[in-house]
Amino acid sequence: MNKNVVETAAGKTYTIYSITHKQSGRSYVGCTSMSLKARWNCHQSASRAGSQCLLHQAIRQFGKSAFTIKELDKTDDEDFAFNVLEPCHISAQNSFIYGFNRTRGGRGGLSGFKHSAASRKSQGEKLANTKWMTDGVEEKRAKKGQRLKKGWRWGFSDAHKLRVSAGKLGKSRSKPTACGVCA
């Protein structure tokens, strides 16, 4: 069991939280089933990874010490947390218009629209038959006398892989987060 997830006897507890820039007062409202510390660490990690989320850009620009995080609300009901509480707090703090939120809350994407199951299945089938990432790569490599190595989509040379590997020697890896929500 993940120690970062806050759970009750009935299941997960969902926390609505706010991250506020101390100087400007601009805020981000989110919902999580993780501890606030773990979620804050996920936001920092995504910021370091170069995420283009408005909040993550601001963390890079101003530094993590320029922000405060606080709990706004808690509930055991996931739908209520994402579809009622989060949009309510985003609206109350005006963080969609003046803050760092890019949506009005909930799980519906930028416009609040959700694709039906049939629509998602249809799109998945179309994409499954598309070679959009490697289209023509095999032919180009065949002309050069190279073969496409499975797992190396862009065909890095062995020399390049050795240089990258040598550059990583002795460097510690950061611990993976339990987030999965950050993009």
- Min mean pLDDT across 89-93, 117-121, 148-152, 179-183 is at 179-183
pTM, full prediction: 0.56
Q: Indicate whether 104 belongs to any domain.
A: no
Q: Minimal CA–CA distance to 29: which of 87, 110, 98?
A: 87
Identify the CATH number of the domain in which residue 40 sits.
Answer: 3.40.1440.10
Q: Are the beta carbons of 106 and 83 closer than 8 angstroms?
A: yes
Query: Could you report the per-residue pLDDT of 14-30, keeping only the tens digit for each?
Result: 999 999 999 999 999 99
Question: Is residue 179 over pLDDT 50?
Answer: no
Q: Is residue 107 part of a domain?
A: no
Contact 77, 14 (CB under 8 A): yes
Phi, psi of 174 (to 5 degrees): -75, 155
In a domain, 25, yes or no: yes
86 shares a domain with 125: no
Identify the domain containing residue 139 by its residue range: 117-168
- Higher pLDDT among residues 66 and 129, named by residue: 66
Structure confidence by residue, pLDDT tens digits, 145-156: 555 554 445 566
Using the 3D structure, point to which of 59, 93, 127 is the last residue of a domain. 93
Distance CA 173, CA 10 (A): 36
* Token pair of 62 as six digits: 């101003």
Cα dihedral sign, 8-12-13-17: positive
Is residue 24 assigned to a domain?
Answer: yes
